[in-house]
Amino acid sequence: MPKVPGPDGLLDWNELMERAQKDPELHPAAAAIIRFKRKEIPPAFFRIFTFRPVNFNNFLSPPKQRNMELEKDSFRSYVWIRANENIGDDPRLHVAAAAYISDATMIETALRPHSR
């Protein structure tokens, strides 16, 4: 497990996206990603999962905007994900849920090296 803050005290994805969209300094590429995700991710997704990004700003603002160099960790997304309902004890179901949710932040992470 990476050493990251626990989920308590972190805002969920929808709250973070709403706040980010109101930020006048939000990078246009980040604004486009947020608009896409808010349009394309079905509301049911957030009823099924609680999704709390640890380093949300890491993939929403390019390094130049934050006056920093790309660091090893800036190519990673850390999120806490929890099913809102009990999904049972079957390990196969847990693996299936993890596989389903694992690509939720792929585009943000993949864009990081290109945001210079």
Asked if residue 43 is part of any domain, the answer here is: yes
Q: How many domains does the chain have?
A: 1
Asked if residue 30 is part of any domain, the answer here is: yes
Helix (H), strand (E) at residue 53: strand 49-53
Asked if residue 6 is part of any domain, the answer here is: no
pLDDT tens across the length of the chain (116 residues): 788 899 999 998 888 888 888 888 887 877 887 888 888 787 888 888 888 988 876 656 554 444 445 455 566 778 899 999 999 999 999 999 888 887 776 766 666 666 55
Q: Which two tokens stand for residue 25?
A: 């300094």
pTM score: 0.71
Asked if residue 91 is part of any domain, the answer here is: yes
On the 0-12 / 13-18 / 19+ scale of CB atoms within 10 A, 12 is middle
Query: Which structural domain, as residue segments, surrounds residue 108?
Result: 13-114
Q: Are 54 and 2 in contact (CB under 8 A)?
A: no
Q: Which two tokens stand for residue 60?
A: 């929403």
Q: Are 72 and 30 in contact (CB under 8 A)?
A: no
Asked if residue 7 is part of any domain, the answer here is: no
